[in-house]
């Protein structure tokens, strides 16, 4: 049952005190504010501006931004919890918050100089959505085959190129754009730039019509002689590859959080439905075959959750987590797809119609094995780590 926004939890400012309280606050918000909008957002392929504002007001759009810059001053693990809880209700909102925190804000906190932090972190915590623009038509899995160029011109760089599949692009006003300042140098020419919406020569282009996570915007970006001041270089010139690799390793944990949230949501809905749906005179939850399928799904979801939490804890502790991030990303995405598929099966004919939530979970799950590094790339990373 929905409740008035005034009844929702106050902004989350004391995140470190109690992770469980934080989790419950985000869950309450998701159930009260997001759940009534899920079908409408999916059909219209759009997140209402009022909901984005409510996410900022709650404090989940600036979790790791230091309090001195107006953020919540939380941990990476808090970001994981937020993405998980939001994704239980709608993975589209989960990924919006994920990209904001684990990619964009994380990059500014780790790689931004004092000037960039002062100019952008308060905005990202208060009311401004960010996007992360690395992918191109020919550089998906081969991320560093990008052809977007940055030509040096006095005290600025002139960017030209086209980015594809950029999450949050419709809502964002701040974009981290990766371009090469020296094509002959290969990946060592890649540099990260901060580009603002409205900059001459910069355009947010076509929005993709997607299978799943439809409310999450995915758009192309066009850069045509887009002049960016040198002060908007994030990190070192020619070291953008390092920013991209290390940020994406952390972003994979965020996608893991989205996938376990999705799996939890699908399993919760299915358990409830099997207690209500009757066949042969009794609820199908009383049939041993159904019980065993649900039990196996519960085992998978618990295992996937622990891999995500383990990777996030290692990251917060400053310990190596490359292997664990790859493991949690591939495993959680596979579990999400299996559990969502089982949910559709156990809902029967109702699982195939939009009146019930599981067909959307099924559609949303597929992207988990594709973005932030495909499953094949995760397997390659895992193989390199265990064979080293």
Overall domain count for the chain: 3
The structure tokens 């265990």 sit at 386
Does 266 share its domain with 375?
A: yes
What does the alpha-carbon distance between residue 293 and residue 195 come to, in Å, rounded to a whole number?
49
Does 142 share its domain with 206?
A: yes
Is 168:207 a contact under the CB 8 Å cutoff? Answer: no
Q: 372 an active-site residue?
A: yes
Q: Domain ends where: 70, 95, 129? A: 129
Q: Domain ends where: 101, 129, 157? A: 129
- Whole-Å CA distances, 387 to 67, 120, 363, 376, 378: 42, 41, 35, 16, 14
DSSP β-bridge partners for residue 156: 153, 229
Does 20 share its domain with 117?
A: yes
- Whole-Å CA distances, 291 to 9, 12, 251, 261, 346: 36, 38, 35, 21, 11
Does 370 share its domain with 248?
A: yes
The CATH number given to whatever domain includes residue 164 is 2.40.110.10
Is 100:237 a contact under the CB 8 Å cutoff? Answer: no
Does 250 share its domain with 290?
A: yes
Grouped pLDDT means (10 residues each) for the chain, 388 residues: 46 60 95 98 97 97 96 95 98 98 97 98 98 91 87 96 97 98 90 98 97 98 98 96 93 98 98 97 97 98 98 97 98 98 98 97 98 95 96
Is 191:233 a contact under the CB 8 Å cutoff? Answer: yes
H or E element, residue 364: helix 358-365
Does 162 share its domain with 293?
A: no
What does the alpha-carbon distance between residue 288 and residue 8 come to, in Å, rounded to a whole number?
40
Does 34 share its domain with 171?
A: no
Q: Domain ends where: 213, 238, 263? A: 238
Does 125 share its domain with 163?
A: no
Both tokens assigned to 259? 């996938």
The DSSP-derived string for 24-80 is HHHHHHIIIIIGGGHHHHHHHT---HHHHHHHHHHTTTSTTS-GGGTS----HHHHH
- The pairs formed by 232-235 with CB atoms below 8 angstroms and a separation of 24 or more are 232/116, 232/193, 232/194, 232/195, 233/157, 233/191, 233/192, 233/193, 233/194, 234/107, 234/108, 234/111, 234/112, 234/116, 234/176, 234/192, 234/193, 234/194, 235/111, 235/112, 235/191, 235/192
Is 246:319 a contact under the CB 8 Å cutoff? Answer: no
Does 324 share its domain with 363?
A: yes
Does 161 share its domain with 124?
A: no
Instruction: Give residue 281's region: left, alpha or beta (phi > 0; psi -120 to 50).
Output: left
Instruction: Give residue 73's region: left, alpha or beta (phi > 0; psi -120 to 50).
Output: left
Considering the entire predicted model, what is its pTM?
A: 0.94
125: containing domain: 5-129
pLDDT value, residue 139:
83
Rg (CA), the chain: 21
The CATH number given to whatever domain includes residue 279 is 1.20.140.10
With CA atoms as reference, report the closest residue to 88 among 212, 256, 255, 258.
Answer: 258
pLDDT value, residue 17:
54
What does the alpha-carbon distance between residue 51 and residue 35 come to, in Å, rounded to a whole number?
11
Does 124 share its domain with 212?
A: no
Instruction: Give residue 343's region: left, alpha or beta (phi > 0; psi -120 to 50).
Output: alpha
Q: What is the DSSP letter of 136?
A: B
The CATH number given to whatever domain includes residue 103 is 1.10.540.10
Does 293 share its domain with 383?
A: yes
Pairing assessment for the beta strands 278-279 and 202-207 based on DSSP bridges = unpaired
Identified catalytic residue from 220, 337, 359, 372: 372
pLDDT value, residue 15:
47
With CA atoms as reference, report the closest residue to 86 among 72, 69, 107, 100.
Answer: 100
Q: Under DSSP, is residue 288 helix (H, G, I), strand (E, B) or coil?
A: helix
DSSP β-bridge partners for residue 228: 157
The distance between the two most distant Cα atoms of the chain, rounded to a whole number of Å, is: 79
């Amino acid at each position: 049952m929905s409740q008035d926004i005034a009844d929702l939890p106050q902004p989350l400012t004391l995140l470190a005190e109690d992770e469980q309280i934080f989790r419950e606050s985000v869950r309450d918000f998701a159930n009260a504010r997001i759940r009534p909008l899920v079908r409408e957002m999916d059909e219209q392929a759009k997140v209402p501006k009022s909901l984005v504002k409510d996410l900022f007001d709650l404090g989940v759009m600036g979790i790791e931004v230091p309090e001195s810059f107006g953020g919540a001053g939380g941990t990476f693990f808090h970001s994981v919890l937020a993405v998980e809880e939001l994704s239980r209700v709608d993975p589209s909102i989960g990924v919006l918050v994920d990209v904001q925190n684990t990619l964009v804000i994380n990059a500014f906190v780790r790689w931004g100089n004092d000037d960039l932090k002062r100019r952008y972190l308060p905005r990202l915590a208060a009311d401004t959505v960010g996007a992360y623009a690395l992918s191109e038509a020919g550089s998906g899995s081969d991320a560093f085959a990008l052809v977007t160029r940055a030509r040096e011109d006095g005290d600025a760089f002139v960017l030209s190129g086209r980015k594809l599949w950029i999450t949050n692009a419709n809502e964002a006003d701040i974009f981290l754009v990766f371009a090469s300042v020296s094509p002959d140098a290969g990946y060592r020419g890649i540099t990260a730039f901060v580009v603002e919406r409205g900059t001459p020569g910069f355009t947010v282009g076509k929005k993709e019509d997607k299978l799943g996570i439809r409310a999450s915007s995915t758009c192309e970006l066009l850069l045509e002689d887009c002049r960016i001041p040198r002060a908007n270089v994030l990190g070192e010139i020619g070291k953008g590859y390092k920013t991209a690799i290390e940020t994406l390793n952390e972003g994979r944990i965020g996608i893991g959080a989205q996938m376990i949230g999705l799996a939890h949501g699908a399993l919760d809905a299915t358990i409830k439905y099997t207690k209500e749906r009757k066949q042969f005179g009794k609820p199908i939850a009383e049939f041993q075959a159904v019980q065993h399928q649900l039990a196996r799904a519960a085992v998978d979801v618990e295992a996937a959750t622990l891999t995500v939490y383990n990777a996030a804890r290692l990251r917060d502790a400053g310990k190596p987590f490359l292997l664990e991030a790859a493991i949690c990303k591939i495993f959680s995405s596979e579990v999400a797809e299996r559990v969502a598929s089982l949910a559709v099966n156990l809902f029967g004919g109702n699982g195939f119609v939009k009146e019930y939530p599981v067909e959307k979970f099924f559609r949303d799950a597929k992207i988990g094995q594709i973005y932030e590094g495909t499953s094949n790339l995760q397997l390659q990373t895992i193989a390199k780590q265990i064979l080293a």
